[in-house]
Structures are given as C-alpha cells and as structure tokens.
Amino acid sequence: MTDDAMPATSDRIFIRDLVVRCIIGVEEVERREMQDVVVQIDLWVDLRKAGRTDALADSVDYSVLKRQILQATERTQYRLIEALAQRIADECLKDQRIECVKVAVEKPGVLRFARTVGVEIVRHR
C-alpha cells in the first residue's frame, strides 16, 4: 500500500490463510467442481477503545466476520479471483468501523511450475 493510500489509523486486524470453497475459473474444467482458494485479509480499524476497555463490542469480532465472509462466498460462482476479492472486500466494509481492507486471494496449483497465483486489492471506505 502506498503512503497516500494509508488509512487514518495504523491499527490492523488480520485473518490469514482463510480457505474458501467455490466454483472459480474461466475454463470449463475449473467450473465443474468447487475449488479451494486461500484468502488473506487486513482490516484497518481504530483499536484504541478496545485496547482500553478490553470489550469485544469495541472491536471487530473477526469470528463473526469470518462466518459472514464464508456465507457470502461459499457455494458461489466466479469467473475471476478479482471478483471474489471484491466480494470479500465489500463484505468487510459493511462494518462501518473498518476504514480500509486489503484482500489477497490465491488459487493454489492453477499454474504449472507455480505454487499459487493470486490478486491483492485495497478498498477504502
């Protein structure tokens, strides 16, 4: 992320290696069965109040957010991982406390001789 794109807060919540299953791809063979994609999520949110109060209500409940993301994306169909990344970013930004989200979506094993291929997007409120 470039400096001019930085959110007002530097506090972050992150979710690493979230596995989402969906139909994804442009090739016929890719669209026959659900595939695993791996998602990395960074959420910029002011965590000062939560740090002082130690109250979950003053933070983003990442367990709830994970369920919302899975519910919104699993058993869906996308042609492009860019579209899946956008859907995840949109879901995250429904929480008004989140200023900015970075979503990386990887599709392991899709390219011969490469472990994974992916996209990364950043969306601001």
Count of CB atoms situated within 10 Å of the CB of 24 = 24
Instruction: Show the domains of the chain with their CATH numbers.
Output: 3-124 (3.30.1130.10)
Local confidence band at 106 (pLDDT 50, 70, 90 cut-offs): very high
Specify the higher pLDDT residue, 3 or 10.
Answer: 10
| pLDDT at residue 58 tops 80 | yes
Q: What is the pLDDT of residue 84?
A: 97
Specify the higher pLDDT residue, 117 or 3.
Answer: 117
Structure tokens at 53: 């109060």
Question: Which residues have a catalytic role annotated?
Answer: 107
Q: What is the pLDDT of residue 3?
A: 47
Q: How far apart are CA 70 and CA 79, in angstroms?
A: 18
